[in-house]
Structure 1
Amino acid sequence: MANILFYVSLILIWMMLLYHMFLMQGGYHHFKTFEKVIPQWRKNMTDLPTVSVFIPAHNEEVVIEQTLKAMARLYYPKDKLEVIVINDNSSDRTGEIAALYAEKYPFIKVIETEGINRGKGKSSALNDALRQTDSEVIAVYDADNTPERMAVWYLVMGLVNDPKAGAIVGKFRVTNAKATWLTRFINIETICFQWMAQGGRWSWFKVATIPGTNFAIRRSIMKELGGWDVKALAEDTELTVRVYDAGFHIRFFPAAITWEQEPETLHVWWKQRTRWARGNQYVVLKFLSQFFKLKRKRIIFDLFYFFFTYFLFFFGVIVSNALFILNQFYDIQLSVGNVALVLWGLAFLLFLAEVMITLSIEKTQMNRKNFFTVILMYFTYSQMWIVLVLYALILETKRMIFQQEVRWYKTERFEKKRGEVSE
């Protein structure tokens, strides 16, 4: 029995690795081709839609000024642009700093969440802003983001030129990638997520996932869908499924770039990623239970991808590791032969090859230092994810059984160090 479980676990792990290699090929193809449409698309950027940029902010005084400086530099007609800082029950100087920029720039506004939406989290804050605006396009940025000057322009360009696109998502890079070993790992993870996962899924299946930041969506769709789901900790993934089910697709257009801050300590990383894992587990269970009600079956493929990632794949890793360790202390008749050891070694080499090839897409990232960082990442950061997903599943199961209220964790920010620059 132990041998059967062990080899089933290996099969699950290898299925995920091979699938990611498949995605990597698609992502690399998208990297080589996505810019070809820009010259033609640019010609259609004449009668531009009105845009509201939402920035949900709760106690963001450390980062909000840098974000608003970037917003003030955005390349978009100011008579068709409004930047709305949603001050959600902040107890620091977030509102005060935002108000100073609102005085200086007429297209920047500050609103305060009220009533039942006050202090309830990102989804509630976004819904509050949605009710107070009437722009044709809604763009969302987190309060630690500094989008490049053309970011919103490119997001809108995608919507203008792709009528079937309900939303356009850009790519994001890490501003504090060099701050700690943890941020170096996250930087590599971020690049791989975009090009290996987002780029590959769009290239092969015309499927992409809305991230929490740097995306634009048609207001008409948000109105049709009734806004953001306040019960979803991963409101972006949840919204993705509903956009596809409404008959639209989501385009990954990496010309739109934003830079964001990542957790510099394990404590902050653990809380943020636990929220992400729980949120995605909620989305998978929510929509798989509605399998026969979903009108657009294409998104089912993506739901199974998330199900495989957060349930089957991690089950395989946890079971194989547990059996191997248990066999060191008790005789469970586990015969891990040479074939299994070879498969484990090849899995590591495949992981290393996939990540390094993906890093070659970003300038300056394919280097010797990152090569050794990826090796260390495999044995540390990747293993931490295993424990985290298991912990998140326990919390989410407990919440469902006892009908507990969802509590939003707002990621803590870090002051920018002197001399810190974007890579």
Structure 2
Amino acid sequence: MFGSLHGILHAPALRPSFPFICSRPPVRTMKVPGLSADTSLRTRFDRIRQVTVALASPLSPEDMMVQSMPDASPGKWHLAHTTWFFEQFVLSRRPGYVPRHPGWMVLFNSYYQSVGPMHARPRRGLLSRPSLQEVLDYRCYVDEAVGEWLEAGDDPDLPALVELGLNHEQQHQELLLTDIKHALWCNPLRPAYRPDGWVARSSPSQPLRFLSGGEGVVEIGHGGTGFAFDNETPRHRALLQPHALANRLVTNAEYLAFVHDGGYLDPGLWLSDGWATVQAEGWQRPLYWQDDLASEFTLGGVQPLDPEAPVCHLSYFEADAFARWAEMRLPTEAEWEAAAAGLPVQGNLQEQARLHPQATMPGEGLRQMFGDVWEWTASPYVSYPGFRPLPGSLGEYNGKFMNGQWVLRGGSCVTPCDHVRASYRNFFPPHARWQFAGIRLGKDL
């Protein structure tokens, strides 16, 4: 055990005291657009890099090597790949730079065909070497090198590249947790990622109400200052028809009613590919719900199913089928973004360290727009009008996946607060269930 996740996330300046965390001297500040006036990019770099290691701290070296399915990656690979990203796209820009371990540039490349070959994704769990300690040493080496270059401040393009790398790192913080959750669930013992101090919060049911959304022409997409991925751009006009959105997320109790009503047995509720998947995979309930339909597997082990908490770990197919059963529909991403624009990014996010969706607290207006679960939308993941990917190899980051995927919005209980925003577009294939994904209902007016 490397340390305490809850303690790390709530410690001042998020600075863990692990023996393998690199110590650094005081640094002068470098400002980057989108950061507060008293935050340097170097400070942000150090904090985010250390949080990733803190999230891995409850895991053993054996845990860190497990790959439970091709869509997931071992924790050790996440630690190495996020470091590879900084070495490949930041440090390698320096004239004459030689990679620390040239062979690792193949092992920890994910899908960037234009920079060279890569180890097969389904076989990442076979990489017993390099060791976990060697990967941690690699992180320290790259952190020191990137930090020194940030201090030098002699490359005007460096801040934007580092900021992209940090947002990439935060995506892998989420994946590290969702991937290890799936791996631990595959163990018949159902071991917990965090067995001590499990925090759950329940509250009385909030009535489901529908709030009218805007209609007519609106602008969506990232605009102004601050970081955004290329797939959030350009800002453009969209036409909204009269509609309404649910004030909160769909709960476990509401989804349980769908299960009891034979929702997984009625082909009329499902898209054709969805019904074929239900039949092929034998789906009868959400991923991680136990046979008794009264408990579920969480990062705290098997816990009672809170009827008022948002249902999660649903595929797009399940979300769409539930909406049909409820005689509703899923919101479009334009409807969702128009409703979320201007709302503060707050909620049950990674910093709360609950690591599981929580029942909504009383309040007016739209609730749970950020945090708890990613919300499936009715929108396929395609480019915005006038979209241009990033230049060079980084153009492979998002654009080439605009095929056969669906958009999710709003972040989840494992999303960092400073990583998500109203324009953020997550995307997964429609059968994916291992992410913290759930449902907000919409309807036409």
TM superposition score category, shorter chain reference: under 0.3
TM-score relative to the length of structure 1: 0.26
Q: Give the TM-score normalised by the residue count of structure 2.
A: 0.25
Q: Greater helix share, 1 or 2? A: 1
Whose RCO is larger (CA < 8 A, sep 6+)?
1
